[in-house]
Amino acid sequence: FGMYPFADVKRLAAEWKYPVTTIFDVGASEGESTLDALNNFPEARVLGFEPHPSTFATLMAKVGGNPRFQGFNVALGTDIGEVEMIEYDSFKANSLTPNNPHSKRFNTRGRSIRVQETTLDTFCSEHSIDNIDLLKTDVEGFDLVVLQGSSLMLQKRAVKFVLVEFYDLLPREGVFGGALMPFEDLLGPFGFRFVATYNGYISTGGEMFSTSNALFCLPPRR
């Protein structure tokens, strides 16, 4: 465990006899993680959420032809309607908050655009989705907000695995999101258990900066 998150999901899902048929890729970007999910879970459909218009167009050009994929040009959070998004020169840093961990660490300045947002609970209700086997989020500091908009699905035990991005263990002053412990605080009461972390990037120049992911699982009731 702790080497590759999709491998760990497959191992635990097999142990608990959880079928992996529905995956949410929140912050799908240009489709790298979407393609990875489609390749690793051949029985699953993947729903990709990407609010930035040109990035979404690239996502659809790369993955839109796959019959197991559906793309949605919308952000997931706690609001419904039009919201502000900050776009940067690098599309990978685009975020719904101007003081996300990446922009604060590297002192980058972005431009404001307007995008559509809804909640995961609302989306699932409107699209008659009863379960999410794997919920993956990579939204530059906004991941906890995605989960806050998912409380009904979490309460119903309708989500089995959650894979989130984080930068620090604890919240940092002046930085929005990106801390690991608040995920445990939110998911723990719903019965989730921490599995492992997966480091993706470390910058050692100046103040050390790292990007990682964390996997949480919902074990079956005994």
- 63: which 2 tokens? 């993955």
Residues contacting residue 168 through CB under 8 Å, at least 6 positions apart: 101, 178, 179, 180
Cβ atoms within 10 Å of 31's Cβ, excluding its own: 26
pLDDT at 160: 98
What is the pLDDT tens value at each position of the chain, 222 positions in all? 999 999 999 999 999 999 999 999 999 999 999 999 999 999 999 999 999 999 999 999 999 999 999 999 999 999 999 999 999 877 777 888 888 887 778 778 788 999 999 999 999 999 999 999 999 999 989 999 999 999 999 999 999 999 999 999 999 998 999 999 999 999 999 999 999 999 988 988 888 888 999 999 999 998
pLDDT at 15: 97
Prediction pTM value? 0.95
* DSSP of 104-173: HHHT---EEEEEEEEEHHHHHHHTT---EEEEEE--TT-HHHHHHTTHHHHHTT-EEEEEEEESBSS--T
pLDDT at 219: 98
Hey, what amino acid is at 138?
Answer: D
pLDDT at 49: 98
Q: Any bridge partners for residue 137, and if so which?
A: 26
Alpha carbon separation from 108 to 62, 171, 208 (Å, rounded): 28, 20, 16
DSSP designation for 37: H
- 37/4 Cα distance (integer angstroms): 12
- 157/152 Cα distance (integer angstroms): 9
